[in-house]
A and B are shown apart, each in its own frame.
Chain A
Amino acid sequence: MRGFKRIVPYIGLVLIIVLFSALTGGKLLSFRNLKLIFNQAVVLIIGCIGVTFVMAQGSLDLSQGSLLGISGAMAATFAAITPGLSLPLAILTGIAVGMINGTLLAFFKIPSFIVTLCVLFVLRGLTVIATHSGSIPLPFAMLSLDNFRIKASILVTVILAAYYAYTYTSLGKNMRAIGSGETSARYSGVPVERMKVLAYLISGLLCGLCGWLNVVRTGAADSKTGLLFELDILTALVLGGMPLTGGSSAKLQSAIIGGLMLALLSNGMVLVGIKAELQQAVKGVIFLLAVYLSFERESVVMIK
C-alpha cells in the first residue's frame, strides 16, 4: 500500500498526460507545446525545489510570492544599469530574505507560518515601492536571454545540484532528519539552527533565481509579479506527494512532478477548451483527489 501511495503522483502525471493528449488529439504532446509547458513550469519547479528543503524540515515558506516580486524588481532595476548585475542581485536578494526568514525561525523561535506570512506582506510592499508603483521594463537585449537552452540548462543544473545535495550529502540528510524528529536529530549531532537557516537560504536563493528567470521571461518586473505564487508552490508540492510534516518521506521528486503537473493542467485545460470559470474547480478536485490517494496516513502520528 505504501508503495502504491508513493507512486500516486507519478500515476497522476501519466494520467493527466494521457487524458489531455487524448482530448486534444495529441496536440498536448507536440514539440511546440511541450516546450511551452516546459517554459511555464521552469519557474514553478525551481521555486518548488527551493521550498522542498524547507518543507523537508516540516516548516513552511509562504514568503515566496513576494520574494519572486522583489527579486525580480531588483533584477530589473539593476539590469538598467548593467545587465550583468541583474542575476547576482536577484539571487542576493533571495539569500538575504532567506537569511531573515531562517534566523527569525531558528533563533527567535517564531513559527515559520507566522514569520513567512509577515515577510510576505513586508516584501509585497517593498516590491511595490521598488517597482515605483508600476513596473520596470527590462532592456530589450535581455529578452534574448529567455532562450530555451539557457533555461533548460539552468533547470537541469538546479535539479541535478539540488538532487545531489538533497540525496547524497549530509545537508539533505540532516534537513530530512530535522523533519523526522527535531530533537532526535539534534541529539545525533545535526546542527539544527544552522540547517534551518540554510534551508531558508537555499529556498531564498532559488526563489531569487526564479525572480530573475521570471523577469527575463516576461520582460517586466511588475508590482503584482508573483502574487499568490506561494500557494502555487504549496499546491504543486502537495500534488507531487510532499508531506507537510517533512521528514524522510519528503522527496525532491515531488517538486518536479508537482510543478510539471500544475503546468500541464493549466496548459491542458486551455488546449481542451474548458471554460475559464471552471478550470479552477477542476484543479481543486484533482488536488484533493491526488492528496487523498497519496497521503501516507500510517506514517503520521496526528493529522493536523
Chain B
Amino acid sequence: MGKGLPRKILIVLILPCAVYAIFFALQPKRFGNLQTLYIMFQQAFLPSISAWGLCFVMSLGLYDLSIGAIIILSAIVGTNLTLALGTGVGYIWLFIGCLATAVVLELVNATVYNLLKIPSMIVTIGLMILYETAANFVGDAVLPYELSIFGRAPYNIIAGAAALVVAYILYNRTQIGMQIGAVGGSEIIARNAGVRVERVKMNGFLLCGLFLGIASFLSVSYGGVIIPSTRMSSILRLFPPLMGYFIGIALKKVCNIIIGIFIGEMVIIMVVTGMVTMGVPTTYQQVITGLFLLAVVGIATKAKTDEVVK
C-alpha cells in the first residue's frame, strides 16, 4: 500500500497542475494569483456536491437525469418555506426544507423505478418533466441576503468540506456505500451474497437526494435566486456534475472517486476560468471544454479488448 501511494498522488496531481501551469504560462498576471485559485476552489464545490450525489446513483449503473429539476424544485420549496416560517434562524429552515424536498423527490424516483420496473433513464426523464412543472407552479426562489451566509467564504467551504467528508465516509466507510459498489459491480453476485438489491438501489437514490439537497441549499445561497426551467431545460444543470463524474471515473484507478470528482470539477473550472481570463469567447470555451473532456476520458479509458462497450 504505502509504496504506491506517493506515485498515485503524483499521478492524480498531474492533471490539475498541468492545466494550471498551461494557463499560468499563458496569462501569468491574471490567472496565477492566489485569489483566483481560492475562488476556483470554492466554485468547484457546488458542482462537486451534485456529482457526489450522482455518483451514488451512477455507481449502481443507473442514471438520474432529473437532478437538475430536483435541485431547482428543492431550492424553491426550501426558500419559500423559509420565507413563510420566519427568518430568525432562517438558514436552518432553508437547509431542512431543501434537504427534505430533495430526499423526498429522490424517494419518488426510486419508488417509481422499483415499482414500474422500467429503465432509470426513462423514469427520470419522465419525472424530470413533472418536477419542472411543479417548480414552475410554486414560483421563484428569492433568498434574502441575510439568509445566504452559506453562499460566501468561508461558510461555503466549510459546508462543501463537510459534504466531502460525508460523501467520502458514506461511499467508502459504510455498509450502504459498500453495497452500492457491490450492486454496481454485479447485481447477481451481490444478490447471491444476500444483498437486498432493491433496497440498495433505493438507498443510492436517497443518498443522491441528500447531496442534491445540500447542493440546492448552497446553490440558492450562492446565487440568491433560482428560477424554474421548463421544457427539459433543467437537464442543462446535469452536465457540470456529470463532467466531473466522468473525470472522477477516469481517475478511479489512481484515486478515490469522491476525491477524483472534486479534482475533475476543479480542473474543469480551471479550464473555464482560464479561458475567461484569457478572453476566449464563450463559444470557443464550450468547444474546448468538450474536447478537453473527451481527451481526458479517452486517454484514461482503456477497455479490455474483449470488453463490450455500448
Q: Which residue numbers of A lie inside 8 Å of B, CB to CB?
A: 57-60, 104-105, 108-112, 114-115, 117-122, 124-126, 128-129, 133, 182-183, 228, 231, 234-235, 238, 244, 277-278, 280-281, 283-285, 287-288, 291-292, 295, 297, 302-304
A61 CB to closest chain B CB (Å) equals 12
With A280-B132, A281-B130 in contact, is A122–B309 under 8 Å at CB? no
Stretch of B27-35, B251-259, B289-297 with 4 or more beta carbons under 8 angstroms from chain A = B289-297
Cβ contacts under 8 Å, A108 to chain B = 298, 301
B125 proximal to A (CB < 8 A) = yes
With CB as the reference atom, state the residue of chain B lying closest to A223: B283
B3 proximal to A (CB < 8 A) = no
Contact with A along B136-174 (1 / 0, CB 8 A): 110000000000000000000000000000000000000
Interface size counted on chain B using CB atoms at 8 A: 51
With CB as the reference atom, state the residue of chain B lying closest to A183: B308
Cβ contacts under 8 Å, A291 to chain B = 116, 118, 122, 126
A288:B308 contact, CB within 8 angstroms? no
A283:B118 contact, CB within 8 angstroms? no
B118:A133 contact, CB within 8 angstroms? no
Q: A122-B287, A285-B126 are in contact. List 17 more A-B contacts (CB 8 A).
A: A105-B309, A110-B298, A111-B301, A118-B290, A122-B286, A124-B286, A125-B290, A183-B308, A278-B133, A280-B129, A280-B133, A281-B133, A284-B127, A288-B116, A288-B123, A303-B120, A304-B120
With A231-B232, A278-B133, A288-B116 in contact, is A112–B290 under 8 Å at CB? no
A114:B297 contact, CB within 8 angstroms? yes
CA distance A217 to B310 in the complex (A): 34
With A105-B309, A125-B290, A302-B187 in contact, is A288–B112 under 8 Å at CB? yes
B290:A121 contact, CB within 8 angstroms? yes
With CB as the reference atom, state the residue of chain A lying closest to B304: A109
Q: Which of B122, B246, B285 contacts A114 (CB 8 A)?
A: B246
Cβ contacts under 8 Å, A60 to chain B = 310
CA distance A198 to B284 in the complex (A): 29
Cβ contacts under 8 Å, B283 to chain A = 125, 128-129, 133
B1 proximal to A (CB < 8 A) = no
B230 CB to closest chain A CB (Å) equals 6
Contact with A along B268-310 (1 / 0, CB 8 A): 0000000000000001111111110110011001010011111
Cβ contacts under 8 Å, A114 to chain B = 246, 294, 297
A128:B122 contact, CB within 8 angstroms? no
With A183-B306, A288-B112, A304-B119 in contact, is A228–B232 under 8 Å at CB? yes
B235 proximal to A (CB < 8 A) = yes
Cβ contacts under 8 Å, B289 to chain A = 121
Main DSSP-derived SS at the A contact region: helix
Cβ contacts under 8 Å, B239 to chain A = 117, 121
Q: Which of A110, A284, A292 contacts B129 (CB 8 A)?
A: A284
Cβ contacts under 8 Å, B118 to chain A = 288, 291-292, 295, 303
B287:A277 contact, CB within 8 angstroms? no
Q: Which of A59, A235, A285 contacts B130 (CB 8 A)?
A: A285
Main DSSP-derived SS at the B contact region: helix
B85 proximal to A (CB < 8 A) = no
CA distance A297 to B118 in the complex (A): 8
B122:A238 contact, CB within 8 angstroms? yes
With CB as the reference atom, state the residue of chain B lying closest to A182: B308
Give 14 CB contacts A-B under 8 Å. A58-B310, A109-B309, A122-B291, A122-B294, A126-B287, A183-B308, A235-B125, A277-B133, A280-B132, A287-B122, A291-B126, A295-B117, A303-B118, A304-B119
CA distance A231 to B125 in the complex (A): 9
Cβ contacts under 8 Å, A57 to chain B = 310
Cβ contacts under 8 Å, A118 to chain B = 290-291, 293-294, 297
A202 CB to closest chain B CB (Å) equals 17
Cβ contacts under 8 Å, A124 to chain B = 286
B195 CB to closest chain A CB (Å) equals 14
CA distance A201 to B18 in the complex (A): 35
B189 CB to closest chain A CB (Å) equals 12
A104:B125 contact, CB within 8 angstroms? no
A125 CB to closest chain B CB (Å) equals 3
Among B122, B127, B291, the one with the most A-chain Cβ atoms within 10 Å of its Cβ is B122
B187 CB to closest chain A CB (Å) equals 6
B136:A277 contact, CB within 8 angstroms? yes
B81 proximal to A (CB < 8 A) = no
Q: Which of A122, A126, A234, A304 contacts B125 (CB 8 A)?
A: A234
A110:B297 contact, CB within 8 angstroms? yes
Tell me the chain B residues, 230-257 only, with Cβ under 8 Å from chain A: 230-233, 235, 239, 242, 246
A111:B310 contact, CB within 8 angstroms? yes
With CB as the reference atom, state the residue of chain B lying closest to A227: B233
CA distance A281 to B231 in the complex (A): 10
B224 proximal to A (CB < 8 A) = no
With CB as the reference atom, state the residue of chain B lying closest to A124: B286
Q: Which of B122, B231, B287 contacts A280 (CB 8 A)?
A: B231
Q: Which of A228, A285, A304 contacts B231 (CB 8 A)?
A: A228
CA distance A182 to B284 in the complex (A): 37
CA distance A110 to B239 in the complex (A): 18
B261 CB to closest chain A CB (Å) equals 15
B61 proximal to A (CB < 8 A) = yes
Cβ contacts under 8 Å, A238 to chain B = 122
With A111-B309, A231-B125, A234-B125 in contact, is A280–B230 under 8 Å at CB? yes
B307:A109 contact, CB within 8 angstroms? yes
